[in-house]
Amino acid sequence: MTFVINGKEFSATPRPGQCLRTFLRETGHFGVKKGCDAGDCGACTVLIDGEPVHSCLIPAFRGDGHAITTIEGLAKDGALHPLQQAFLDAQGFQCGFCTAGMILTCASLNQAQRQDLGAALKGNICRCTGYRAIEDALDGKTNVEQVAAGEAFGRSLPAPAGPQVVRGQAPYTFDTAIEGLLHIKLVRSPHPHARIVAIDKTAALAVPGVHAVLVHEDAPDVLYSTARHEKAWMDPDDTRMLDPVMRFVGQRVAAIVAENEAAAEEGCRRLKVDYEILPAVFDPAQAIAPDAPVLHPGRTKEQRVANAARNIVAEAHGEFGDVATALATAAVTYEGTFTTQRVQHAALETHGGLAWIDGSGVLNVRSSTQVPFLTHRALAQIFHRAPGKIRVFCERVGGGFGGKQEMFVEDILALAALKTGRPVKLEFTREEQFCATSTRHPMRIAVKAGADKNGKLTALHLDVLSNTGAYGNHAGPVLFHSCGESVGVYDCANKKVDAVVAYTNTVPAGAFRGYGLPQTLFAVEAAIDELAKQLGISPFEIRRRNVVKPGDPMLSPQGYGESDVRYGSYGLDQCLDLVERAMQAEAPKPVLSEEWLIGDGMALTMIDTVPPDGHIADVEIGLRDGGGFDLTVGTAEFGNGTSTVHRQIAATVLKTVVERIHLRQSDTAHGGHDTGAYGSTGTFVAGRATQEAAERLAGEIKQFAAQLLAADPAACALDRDAVICGGQRVSFAELAMTAKARNTPLTAHGNSQGTPRSVAFNVQGFRVAVNRGTGQIKILKSVQAADAGRIANPMQCRGQIEGGVAQSLGAALYEEMVIDAGGRIINPRFRDYHLPSFADVPRTEVLFADTTDALGPLGAKSMSESPYNPVAAALGNAIAAATGIRVTAVPFKPDRLFPLLQEKYGPK
C-alpha cells in the first residue's frame, strides 16, 4: 500500500486489524498520541485529506492513497503553522499531551465552525487547561510577555518546551523507538476478593512470541505501598507486586511478556488461574462493622494498619473545647451528612513506562511519574539492588494530578527487565487506568456546626468515613489532610474531628488534587452557609467574622503536623473582597424563562503550601561554556509549569534572561534528591532551592570576577551576560572559560527541606441557573480569587486556576465511577464517564490577592491543587441559594436534582 504522510510517499503493509494511530507511531510519528484508543479524546487526531479524524478508530489500510497529515507535517521546512504560533502566543497548553490533536482539529476549522467552538472541539479533550487558553489561541490573543534581563520573575513567560509541544516533538514517555522491545500485558482479577489456588502457565507460554509469564512466585515477596512519600511511614505496607490474594476486580494476577502486544494479550487470555472465592465488602460502613470480611488479616500497627480486624487503615479523633455543650447552647445550629463520589484523574497520558538494563548493568526505568526519586528508592528496596544500579527518570509527563504519585508500573517493568534481560514496555489502556490505578477517596462527611447570635462560630464537628478501596496508599494522609485546613481555617473555640478510613474490595483510592479537602469542604462550607442563612447575614460576612487572621492558631483537632505552618503571608481577606465585588458587579441579565431559578454561592479554602513531614529538593546550578547556566532540578514537569518558574527564579537572581538557563530535570542520574512534584511543591520547595543555589552562584561569580579584575567583590554586579566591577566588564563566557582552564568550575547547590510552611487561599464564587423542571444547571458566572503570594508567572497561574476549576466542575457536575454489585466498574471509558469538553466549561474570571510571602521563593506561594478545592462547595451553595434545596451528594446531575425539585416545586 502507498501512504502519503506529511507529503512523503512510502509503501508499507499494516498488520491485519492495525489502526492508523499505531501505524503512524510505528513509522516514527510520535506526535500522534494515545489517550483512550476509543475515539473519545482526540489525542490521536490527524488530518486525512484535510479532514480531522481520530486515527485510533481508522483501520490503517484506509489511509492507502490518501494524504495524511500529522502535527509534524502541519507546516513545512521547520516553520510554524499559524495555529501552532497562536498556541505558542497564547500558551494554549499545560502538559501538552492533547495539543497536537487539538491544533490539527483547530487548523481544519472553517469560519462557521469557529463560531461554535463547543461543537467544533467536542472530539478533543483537554484535562489541564479548562479550554480558555485554547480559546485565546483561536482568538489570536498573546498571553506571553517579553521582559528584560533580571526581570523574569512575576512575568508571563512561555514554557521552555512550548516550541516542541506545538510541533509534536516534545518527547513523552513512549516517544522513542527501542530495538528488541518486549511488551507486557497484565492478567487482572475478575473477582473482588479471592485467593489464587493454582496457576497453570503452560498454555500462555505456548503462545508464539511469549517470553515469560510472571506470577507471584516469580516476584519478590516484599510488602510496600504504591504511594510514594518522602517518609515511608505515611502509608501502610500492604501491597505485593504480585499477590496470591485478590482484593479488587482489576488487581494484577500475572504479567505476560511477549514480542508484541497481540501475543501478550493472547497469553493473558490463555493463562489458567484457579481461584477460591472469598466474601467481599464494598461499603466502608459495612467494612468496619464486626463480622465483615477482613481484607488484610494479620497486618499490624507497625505496618501502619490501625485495626486490620476491622478493616481500618487509619483513624483520627480529637477535640478542642466542648463541642456538645457549644452545640446545645448555640443560637443557631446545622447538621447534615454529605457524600462524595469516586472520580478519576483522567490524565490524558496513561500510566506506563519502559525499562532496560544498559551496558553498565544499570536498570533504567523511564516512566510517566511525578516521583522518579521516590520510585528509585522503592525499587532499590524491593529488588535489594544498589541505588547506583538503578536509574529512574521521566520525559515530559502527560498530566498527573496526583495519580502519578504512585508506583503502578515501575515495579513490574523492573521485574520483567531483570527476568528477561530485554528492554520492556508496559502502557496502560484507558480501561486499566479506571480499573487498576487510583481514584479520589469517596467520603461520607457528617458535619455539625453552631454559631451565636452575632454570627460567631461556636462549634464545628466533622465525622468522616473515607473509602480507600483495597489498599491503603495515601489512605491516612488524605484523611488527615481532609480534616486539616478545612477545619483549621475557622477560628472556633470548640472543634471536634472523628475520622476513619476503611478498606473495601474496590479499586484503591489515592492522591488526587486537593488531597481530601474538596470532599470535606463540600460539607463544611455548606454548614457555614446554612448558619449564615439562619442568622440573616451574607455568606461573605459570616466568613469574615470567623476565618483565621494572622496570629490566630490554625487548629485542627486531629493534630496533624500544623506545628511548622506559619502565616508567611495572608490574603484571604482580599480574596473575599475580590470575589464579593466581582459577583456584585453589573452584568447583563440572562435571558431565561421563569423555569430557571437563579442563585449565587461561594466557598473558600486554605491550603498549606507544602505537605507535612518533609519535602526535599536539591538543586545544582553551574556556569557553562558560552556563558549560560545549567540548572538541575529533580522535580518533574507534567503541565504544572515548574520548568518555566525555575528558570524565571534562576534568571532573576542571576540578573540574566531565561534563555540562558538550561534546565535538566527529573532524572535520578543527575543532581541531588527531590521528593517529587506533588503537594503543590514545585514552586514553593524546589523553587526555594533554586533561589538558594542561584544566589550562591551569583556570589561565587562576583567573587571570581573580582579576583580576575582585582576589584572589590562588593562593587561587582551581574548584568545579563557579564559581571561589571566598577568600570570593568567581564562576560559570563569569559568567566566560564577561565574557570574551566583553572579547573575551578563555578557551581552552587541549593536545598530546601520544605519547612517552615506557609498557607495559600482561594475563594470561588458562582452564579447558577437551575431549571426547576429538569434539574439542568447553567453556570452564569464563575469567579475565583487566589492568594498565591507574589505571582511567579501570572499567565501560568491563571491557567492552573482555570484548569483546576474546570477539572473540579467535571467532578461536581458529571463525573462518577459507578461500581456494580460485584465490585466491577461499569463505566471505565471516557464516553460513559463524561469528562468536561470545551462546551461544558464556563470562563472563570481569575483575580489575585496582592501579597508577598516571607517563606516562599521571591515571595511566591503554591497554586496547583487549591483552585480545585472550593468548587463543588461553592456550586452546592449556589444551587441552594437558587432552589432552596441543600443537595448533599455530588455530582449535581439532573437525575439527582430532578426528584428534589419535583418534591419542592411540584410537577412542571
Interacting residues toward ligand FES by CB under 6 A: 34-37, 39-44, 54, 56, 93-99, 126-129, 348, 399, 639
DSSP 288-311: TSTTPPPSSTT--TTTT-SBGGGT
Would you give the DSSP letter of residue 232?
A: G
- Decide: 380 and 386 in contact? Cβ < 8 Å: yes
Torsion of CA 506, 212, 410, 263, to 10 degrees: -70
Give the distance from CA 46 to its chain's centroid. 27
Cα–Cα separations (whole angstroms), residue 498 to 316, 335, 466, 714: 6, 15, 11, 58
Helices (H) and strands (E) in the chain, counts: 26, 31
In the complex, minimum distance from the CB of residue 865 to ligand FES, in angstroms, rounded to a whole number: 16
399/488 with CB nearer ligand FES:
399
CB atoms within 10 A of CB 708: 16
Q: How far apart are CA 502 and CA 464, in angstroms?
A: 11
87/684 with CB nearer ligand FES:
87
Placement of cell 473519545 in the chain: 40
Give the distance from CA 253 to its chain's centroid. 28
3/97 with CB nearer ligand FES:
97
**Could you tell me the three cell numbers for 184?**
507486557
Nearest to 851 by CA among 838, 837, 842, 861: 861
In the complex, minimum distance from the CB of residue 432 to ligand FES, in angstroms, rounded to a whole number: 14
131/766 with CB nearer ligand FES:
131
In the complex, minimum distance from the CB of residue 44 to ligand FES, in angstroms, rounded to a whole number: 3
- Decide: 99 and 165 in contact? Cβ < 8 Å: yes
What's the full length of the chain, in residues? 908
In the complex, minimum distance from the CB of residue 890 to ligand FES, in angstroms, rounded to a whole number: 23
In the complex, minimum distance from the CB of residue 803 to ligand FES, in angstroms, rounded to a whole number: 8
129/344 with CB nearer ligand FES:
129
400/557 with CB nearer ligand FES:
400
In the complex, minimum distance from the CB of residue 638 to ligand FES, in angstroms, rounded to a whole number: 8
Q: How far apart are CA 397 and CA 405, in angstroms?
A: 12
In the complex, minimum distance from the CB of residue 56 to ligand FES, in angstroms, rounded to a whole number: 3
Would you give the DSSP letter of residue 822?
A: T
105/668 with CB nearer ligand FES:
105
In the complex, minimum distance from the CB of residue 52 to ligand FES, in angstroms, rounded to a whole number: 11
In the complex, minimum distance from the CB of residue 699 to ligand FES, in angstroms, rounded to a whole number: 38
Q: How far apart are the first and last CA of the chain?
A: 60
477/867 with CB nearer ligand FES:
867
Nearest to 840 by CA among 77, 193, 122: 122
Q: How far apart are CA 53 and CA 74, in angstroms?
A: 15
In the complex, minimum distance from the CB of residue 636 to ligand FES, in angstroms, rounded to a whole number: 14
Cα–Cα separations (whole angstroms), residue 317 to 290, 328, 337, 461, 497: 20, 21, 18, 11, 5
In the complex, minimum distance from the CB of residue 115 to ligand FES, in angstroms, rounded to a whole number: 23
700/815 with CB nearer ligand FES:
815
94/762 with CB nearer ligand FES:
94
Q: How far apart are CA 858 and CA 793, in angstroms?
A: 12
400/518 with CB nearer ligand FES:
400
- Decide: 480 and 260 in contact? Cβ < 8 Å: no
